[in-house]
Structure 1
Amino acid sequence: MFFIGICLGSFTNVCIFRLPRNKQTITGRSFCPKCKKKIQWFDNIPLISYLLLSGKCRKCYKNISLKYFIVEGICGAGFVLIFLNYSNYTSIVFLSLLFLLYITIFFIDLEHFIIPDSLSFTLMFLAISKNFLPNINASFIYDINESIIGGMIGYLSIWIIIYIYRIIKKIDGMGLGDAKLMAGIGLLFGWKAIPFVLFAASILGLLYVAPSLVNKKINLKSQIPFGPHIILGSVIYFLYGEFLYNLVLKI
C-alpha cells in the first residue's frame, strides 16, 4: 500500500503542477520545472530519485522543490493508514481516492489560491456516489436527501459570506472555488458538519496568517488560501466530529 501510495502521489504531483496551468495531466512526459528538460524514468522513481539526486535536477543542477517529496511521502503514509484502519476494499478504495483529491486541492490552493472546477466537481461526484456504495464504514452521511441538503447549505454558507462582504467592502473576499469545495464537504458529511468545518477552518486560517500579520509581511487585505483550512477542518470532523458533537451535547 505504501508503494501504491507513493506512485499515485507522484501522479498527484503532476496534477498539482499542471492543473493550474491548464496542461494535460494524463499525456506528456515529466520535465524539470526549471530547465524544461524531460526527466528519465530512473530519475522519476517516487521518493528514491529525489534522495539519490539530493533534490536537484540531473540536467541543470537546480533545486527541485521539497514539496514533491513531501506529497509522495504523505500519500504513501496515508494509504497505509487507510489500509490498516478499514477492513473492506470498498472503503479502502473510496477513502484513498478521496485522500488523493484532498491532497491535490490542498497544495494547489496553497500555492495558486485557486481550486480548479474539475477537482471540485470530482469531489461532488465522489460525495454523491458514496450513497450508493455498500460497506463504506466511515463518518459520512448515507441518506441522499441529507447529502443534497448538506451540499446546498455548504455552498450557500460561503456564497452568503462572499455576498455580504461584497456589499460592505465592494470587493470579493473569497472565491466561488471555496463555495464549491464546501458543497462537496456538505455532500460528504451532511449539513451538521458545515458549522464545525467552517469554525475549524477559520481558526486554522487565523493561526496560519497570525505570524505574517505580526511581522507585517501581509495585511488584512492580502490574499490567503482558505481551501487548505477547509480540507483540514473536514479531516478533523471525519476523525473526531462525532466525539466532539457528543462532548458539546453533554456540556
Structure 2
Amino acid sequence: MIFLNSFLIFILGACFGSFLNVCIYRLPINKQIISGRSFCPRCKKYINWFDNLPLISFLFLNGKCRKCKKVIPLRYFIVEITTGIIFLLIYLNYNDLSTIIFLSVLSLIYIIIIFIDLENFIIPDSLNFSVMAIALFKNFLPNFNTSFIHEINQSIIGGMVGYLSIWLIIYLYKVIKKIEGMGLGDAKLMAGIGLLFGWQSVPFVLFVSAILGLIFVLPSLLNKQKNMRSEIPFGPFIIAACLIYFTYGDFLYSLILV
C-alpha cells in the first residue's frame, strides 16, 4: 500500500510540475497561467492532450515537438521529475496533513522562482509576496512540527532583517561602485525566508548562498566567460541555502555554539 501511495504522490507532483512549467514560461511575459491551452514554445502551435502528459510525453516524443520537430527545453522534464521527487520526500517524511500541504505549496513557489531567475534574472513580486503571505499564515497552524518560527512577532522581525540585509548590500554597492549590484527581488526573497525561519536564519542563508554562488561562477570567471559585472541569478542559491538551513540548521548551529 505504501508503494502505491508513494507512486501516486510522485505522479501528483509531476502533474503539478507540468503546471509549474506553464508558470515559468508565462509569468515573466505577463501571460495568463490559468486560461489558454498549452502550446509549443518553439512553433507556438497548440499541444494535444496526449502530448502533454507529464514525463511520459517528453520521453515518448524524444524531447521534440510532434509538429515542428524542434527540441523541447530539457527544463520541462527536469521540473516535472523534480516536483514529483519533492512531493514524494515530503509525503514520506511528514505525517501531519497541514504540514504536507504547506511544504508542498512552498516548494512549488520556490521551484518557479528558481527557474524563472535562472532563465530571466528576475523574481516576480507575485511569487515573493505569496511566500510572505503563507509564511505569516503558518504561525496560526496548529500541530505544525517543523523548524519554522511559530511566533508572529519573531517572524515579522525575521522578515524585516531578511529584507534589510539585502537592501543594505544593494545600497552600499551602489554607493561604492555606482552600479546596481543586486535586485530587490532578492531582498524580498530574503524577507520571505526571514518570515519563515526568523532573523537567526539570515546570516546563515546569506553566507551559504554567497559561497554557493561563488562556487557556481568561479569557473566562468577563471575562463573569462564572465566578469565581476556579469549578471548572475542569485535567487536559486538563496533557496538552496534556505533548504540546507531547513534540513540541517539546528545541527549546524549546535556545532558552532559548542
Letter in 2 for 1:148: I
Matched, 1:152 2:163: no
Question: For the residues of structure 2 that align with 1:45 and 1:138, how far apart are their CA atoms?
Answer: 34
- The answer for the alignment partner of 2:5 in structure 1 is none
One-letter amino acid of the structure 2 residue matched with residue 195 of structure 1: P
Which residue type is aligned with residue 252 of structure 2? Answer: L
**Structure 1 segment 39-58 matched on structure 2, within 5 A:** 39-58=47-66
Offset, 1:116: 0.1
Deviation at 1:134, TM superposition (A): 1.4
**Residues 141-187 of structure 1 deviation map (CA, whole Å, 9 limit, x = unaligned):** 00000000000000000000000011011111000000000000000
| Aligned alpha-carbon RMSD (Å) | 0.5
Identity %: 67
Out of 112, 122, 134, which is 2:120 matched to? 112
The size of the alignment, in residue pairs, is 250
How far apart, CA to CA, are the structure 1 residues paired with 2:84 and 2:163?
31
Q: CA deviation at 1:135?
A: 1.7
Instruction: Look up the match of 2:4.
Output: none
Q: Give deviations 1:76-126, integer Å, cap 9, x for gaps.
A: 000000000001100000000001111010110111100000000000001
Instruction: Indicate the residue corresponding to 1:171 in structure 2.
Output: 179
Deviation at 1:57, TM superposition (A): 0.1
**Take 2:138 and 2:114, find their aligned partners in 1: how far apart are those partners?**
22
Counterparts in 2 of 1:19-168, with a 5 A limit? Answer: 19-168=27-176
The one-letter code of the counterpart of 1:242 is D
Counterpart residue number, 1:215: 223
How far off its partner does 1:205 sit? 0.2
Residue of structure 2 equivalent to 1:15: 23
Aligned partner of 1:231 in structure 2 is: 239
Structure 1 stretches of at least 4 aligned residues deviating more than 2 Å after TM superposition: none
Partner letter of residue 224 of structure 1? Answer: I
TM superposition score normalised by structure 1? 0.99
Q: How far is the alpha carbon of 1:138 from its aligned partner?
A: 1.1
C-alpha deviation, 1:3, in angstroms: 1.1
